[in-house]
Amino acid sequence: MTRENQSEKKMMNKDNADKKSEKEGLENQKQELSFTEGSVFGSMIRFALPVLGALILQAAYGAVDLLVVGQFGDASSISAVGTGSAFMQMVTFIITSLAMGSTVIIGQHIGEKKTKETGDTVGTTIILFAMIGIAATILLEIFAGSVLHILQVPEASLEKAIIYMRICSAGILIIIAYNVISGVLRGVGNANLPFIFVGIACVVNIIGDLLFVAVFRMDARSQYFVPE
């Protein structure tokens, strides 16, 4: 093979590699929405709908628990799960709101093409939320009874409510991990994966509730086996 043929072959390989990279870049752009190019309104709608769906599914956890326990449990179980799930929804709402702050900052840095600042924000977010998760888990495990006394839970359902809250509190780190990962993904413009994640978790939650409450008759304690 002559030098000219070798040069032509290298040029062809380089062109093919460039075309492949360009194709991959276009595919990534389809998955990750950009608010700096094209129609902002269309991108906003495509981004907002999965976010709204994920928030609704997250809020549905307690409703599903309450619905299943209401069908197969007694009045004290319904009261325990109702109070506990309402409090845990508030905790989840706070975590989600804080994670959205990270999403905004990450999105801003990506829009400004500041790679180092984006990495620093992600690292800081992980450390901050890990500390929040550990502190919240310890506090709620220790003071679950005190919190429920403040909420004036009836004595008949207090013990079950404490068990339910402590079991849910043990999963706070999982809730935080989901929201941190979702915040990072949304920051880079991908709102579909968090929606898929929480959708799968909801299906697992429904199956677990039916299995442990309806079949094994474990009442409010069944939430131990069902991820939040």
Distance, in Å, from the CA atom of 190 to the CA atom of 188, rounded to the nearest integer, reads 6
Distance, in Å, from the CA atom of 70 to the CA atom of 219, rounded to the nearest integer, reads 10
**pTM of the entire structure?**
0.71
More confident position, 141 or 222 = 141
Query: Residue 14: what residue type?
Result: K
The pLDDT tens digits of the residues spanning 91-105 come to: 888 888 888 888 889
Tokens at 203, concatenated? 């299906």
pLDDT for residue 228 = 41
Give the list of residues 6+ apart from residue 189 with CB closer than 8 angstroms, or none. Answer: 32, 33, 34, 35, 47, 107, 110
Distance, in Å, from the CA atom of 155 to the CA atom of 161, rounded to the nearest integer, reads 10
Count of CA atoms in the C-beta half-sphere (13 A) of 127: 6
The pLDDT tens digits of the residues spanning 20-68 come to: 544 444 344 444 566 556 677 787 888 888 888 888 888 787 788 788 8
Tokens at 128, concatenated? 């901050």
Region 198-207: mean pLDDT is: 87
